[in-house]
């Protein structure tokens, strides 16, 4: 009976994740010597793996600011299908101060999850990836392509998707975020 409960729990966790797949999370390189100060500010979500919490929201942005305790305040906003504004405030911190691009983030007391900055030029784009091992059998992948503007050149999007693919991450899960007719 316990093994059935464990299997059901793993399946529920995998289904609530963005992209559940078999196996453990791959090793992924992140930005070396991330300049956190340059990374702060507003980013527009261009593409992401499906995320059930956001559903069909549009006009999604993330605003990062430094807190007095050295953590990063994460303010995510989006517009729901009914036109209402959805706001989520989170807290991010470096998992290891020597590797500032490997952050962990929590929203409203949820468990902390990895939030790794895989690539950024600070002024145009950012590629963020997260993966959680579930019981050693499954992994839950999350990924976002962000931009300092509400659009991003397709060549950059393709470059970032290809970078994730080099780590054996299935990039076919990316979905375009609607950034049209937004009142930011």
pLDDT tens, residue by residue, 86-125: 999 999 999 999 999 999 999 988 999 999 999 999 999 9
DSSP 27: P
pLDDT-derived band at 21, boundaries 50, 70, 90: confident
CA distances from 37 to 33, 115, 121, 159, 173 (A): 12, 17, 13, 25, 30
Spatial distance between the Cα atoms of 144 and 103, rounded to a whole number of angstroms? 14
Site of tokens 């995320």: 51
Q: What is the pLDDT of residues 41-96, one digit of tens each?
A: 999 999 999 765 556 799 999 999 999 999 999 999 999 999 999 999 999 999 99
Q: Which residue from 145, 111, 110, 115 is spatially nearest to 130, judged by alpha carbons?
A: 115
Task: Give percent above pLDDT 70 in the chain.
Answer: 87
User: 84 φ, ψ to 5°?
Assistant: -75, 150
The pTM of this model reads: 0.87
Q: Which residue from 37, 58, 52, 46 is spatially nearest to 126, judged by alpha carbons?
A: 46
Predicted confidence at residue 52, as pLDDT, reads 58
Which CATH number is associated with domain 2-176? 2.40.128.20
Through-space distance between the first and last CA atoms of the chain, rounded to whole angstroms: 51
pLDDT-derived band at 153, boundaries 50, 70, 90: very high
Where exactly are the structural domains of the chain? 2-176
């Amino acid at each position: 009976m316990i093994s059935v409960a464990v299997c059901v729990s793993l399946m529920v966790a995998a289904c609530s994740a963005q992209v559940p797949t078999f196996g453990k999370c791959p090793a992924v390189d992140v930005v070396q010597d991330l300049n956190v100060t340059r990374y702060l500010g507003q980013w527009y979500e261009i593409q992401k793996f499906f995320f059930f919490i956001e559903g069909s929201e549009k006009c999604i942005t993330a605003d990062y600011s430094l807190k007095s305790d050295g953590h990063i305040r994460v303010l995510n906003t989006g517009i729901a299908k009914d036109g209402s504004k959805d706001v989520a405030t989170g807290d991010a911190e470096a998992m290891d101060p020597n590797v500032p691009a490997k952050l962990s983030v929590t929203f409203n007391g949820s468990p902390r999850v990895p939030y790794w900055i895989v690539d950024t030029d600070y002024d145009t784009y950012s590629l963020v990836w997260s993966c959680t091992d579930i019981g050693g059998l499954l992994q839950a992948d999350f990924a976002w392509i962000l931009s300092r503007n509400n659009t991003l050149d397709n060549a950059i999007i393709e470059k970032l998707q290809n970078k994730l693919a080099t780590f054996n991450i299935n990039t076919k899960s990316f979905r375009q975020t609607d950034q049209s007719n937004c009142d930011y």
